[in-house]
Amino acid sequence: MTIRNQRTAFGLKILNSNHKEIRRLKRAGYIADIHGNKFWNSSFLIMDYLKKHPLKKNLKVLEIGCGWGLLGIYCARQFDAQVTGIDADENVLPYMQLHAEQNGVCIEGKKMTFQQLTTAKLQDFDIIVGADICFWEEMSGMLLNLIKRAKKAGVSQVIIADPCRSPFTDLAQRCQKIYGEQAQIEGKWLKRPVNASGEILVVDLTE
């Protein structure tokens, strides 16, 4: 559903770029440096996946490369998750907080890179999610190492979605070689509430 300067998808209120609150943040100098200037469609692919494979209530969820944080906000609203969003670009975090407020949830935001997520820091989380975060070649190796650290930390599952760019395909294939049947790849196509397509990598780290 779309109304003036905002829309609704998966039960979430999403402000458009010309909404007065988005414009206010831009005027305040919060300009994204690393592609975090809007919501990316792979977030909706994971939301659709989670409708069919819901999380347990009250889990601690980490959204990596969160951008405006819509995926984490969905987890907080639908599953009462305790959500932390991290991004290398601190300028995106006010947009995440704005949308969290608009949707009646509380989310913690931190400026942090994938490499800074040590095994000790990952021990605080049950699930890791990320959408449209594997777009540079070097990110494939970074994310693979993060998944390995997550397993050591006791994280139970990692879910990453992408429109099938080559770094993501490389990551998915490497995960399948290492984790076998614990790493599943699922194709997704959506027409409503958004038009989106891609693949979801789900890595079960419990075994």
Cβ-based neighbour number of residue 8 at 10 Å: 12
SS3 199: strand
Measured distance CA(24)–CA(93) in Å, rounded: 14
Enter the pTM of the model.
0.93
Averaged pLDDT of the chain: 92
**Domains within the chain, CATH numbers bracketed:** 2-204 (3.40.50.150)
Q: How far is residue 6 CA from its own chain's centroid?
A: 21
**Is residue 94 pLDDT above 80, yes or no?**
yes
**Is residue 34 pLDDT above 60, yes or no?**
no
Measured distance CA(169)–CA(162) in Å, rounded: 9
Terminal Cα distance for the chain, rounded: 41
Do β-strands 127-131 and 60-64 pair in parallel, antiparallel, or remain unpaired?
parallel
- Number of residues that this document lists for the chain: 207
Give percent above pLDDT 70 in the chain. Answer: 95
Q: What is the pLDDT of residues 113-138, one digit of tens each?
A: 999 999 999 999 999 999 999 988 99
